[in-house]
Structures are given as C-alpha cells and as structure tokens.
C-alpha cells in the first residue's frame, strides 16, 4: 500500500492518540492559521501556527469567546505525568497545574493546563479528545499571541 504524500500546506495533529489529522493551513503572511473548534459545544477559533512554541493555548477573556466553565469537555490537568521543568508548576489549587513560559524575545505565557476536545474543519476531518493545552490568564511581549488560538471566534 503506497502512502499518499502530505500536502506541504497542512498541519498534522493528534500523535498523542495515535490518530493523525491533516488540516489545511490558511496563509496570512507572515503567519499561518488553521480553523479548529474548541470544546463542547464547539467554538470556532483560528489556530495561529508557531513552530517555535510547544504549547497550544487559548486566552480566557471576553474577546476569545472561550470559557471552560461553559464547555462540557474541559477538564483541569494536574502536574502528574508532565515533564518536570521550570515552566511547569503545581497550582495553589489542588489538582491543577500552572505554566509560566518565557521566550527569548521576552514574550510571556502564563496560565493553567487543561484538556479539551479539538475539532477540525466542519467535523469532517475529525476531532481529538483530551488534548493538553494551556488556558491562558496572562500573555505579553512583542510576539504575544503566537502559537495560540486566535483571540476571536468565527
């Protein structure tokens, strides 16, 4: 069986579930975006692709439209099983794990880890459950917003 080549303008997600979903990227130079929905009920977002950041996150504020308390598929994530690194710390709230990522350009990403359902396309591409992501509380710096779910719902 020959493998079909993956188009260069796609992003592959889902290796943690041994299920890979290829999604088309939207070019908006100098950035690239992918359309995804987060949570249940699904809330459409634009995922800003940044290969320099290893964390997908969504900022919780009124402009993002995402509120984990309104998603039946959201769960807070404890630090158990996560890598022991400086940017990952136990939260003051039991059973939760915080992150504080600072990049070389002084951008800061501060928030709490959670798991959520991510849906790709109009459900035709599939969905992934229990995706580890950051639930952002503070974002700042010259490139703040990269590697994130865009701060607008579609």
Average pLDDT estimate for 19-40: 72
Domain-located, residue 14:
yes
69 φ, ψ (degrees, to nearest 5): -70, -15
Q: Do residues 135 and 111 make contact, with C-beta atoms less than 8 angstroms apart?
A: yes
* CA gap 98, 135 in Å, rounded: 9
**Residue 57 — pLDDT band, cuts 50, 70, 90?**
confident
The pLDDT of residue 33: 78
Domain-located, residue 143:
yes
Domain hosting 113: range is 10-153
The pLDDT of residue 147: 47
* Most confident residue range from 8-12, 50-54, 64-68, 79-83: 79-83
Comparing CA positions, the residue from 60, 49, 35 lying closest to residue 119 is 35
Domain-located, residue 77:
yes
pLDDT above 90 coverage of the chain, percent: 17
Domain-located, residue 70:
yes
The pLDDT of residue 94: 92
Instruction: Please tell me the total count of domains within the chain.
Output: 1
* CA gap 47, 87 in Å, rounded: 22
Look up residue 63 and give its two tokens: 């402009």
List the beta strands (DSSP E) in 14-141.
21-24, 26-28, 31-38, 43-49, 57-59, 75-76, 88-90, 97-102, 108-120, 126-140
Average pLDDT estimate for 122-132: 79
**Residue 124 — pLDDT band, cuts 50, 70, 90?**
low
CA angle 46, 59, 74 (to 5 degrees): 90
More confident residue, 129 or 11: 129
The pLDDT of residue 73: 96
Cβ atoms within 10 Å of 11's Cβ, excluding its own: 18
The CATH code of the domain that includes 114 is: 2.40.70.10
47 φ, ψ (degrees, to nearest 5): -85, 115
């Amino acid at each position: 069986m020959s493998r079909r080549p993956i188009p260069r303008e796609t992003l592959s997600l889902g290796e943690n579930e041994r299920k890979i979903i290829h999604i088309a990227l939207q070019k908006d130079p100098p950035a690239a975006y992918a359309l995804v929905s987060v949570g249940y009920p699904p809330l459409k977002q634009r995922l800003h692709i940044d290969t320099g950041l290893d964390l997908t996150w969504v900022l919780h504020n009124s402009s993002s439209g995402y509120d984990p308390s309104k998603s039946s598929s959201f769960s807070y994530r404890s630090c158990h099983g996560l890598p022991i690194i400086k940017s990952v710390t136990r939260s003051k709230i039991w059973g939760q794990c915080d992150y504080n990522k600072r990049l070389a350009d002084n951008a800061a990403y501060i928030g709490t880890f959670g798991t959520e359902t991510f849906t790709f396309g109009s459900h035709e591409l599939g969905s992934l459950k229990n995706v580890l992501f950051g639930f952002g509380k503070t974002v700042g710096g010259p490139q703040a917003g990269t590697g994130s779910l865009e701060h607008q719902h579609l």
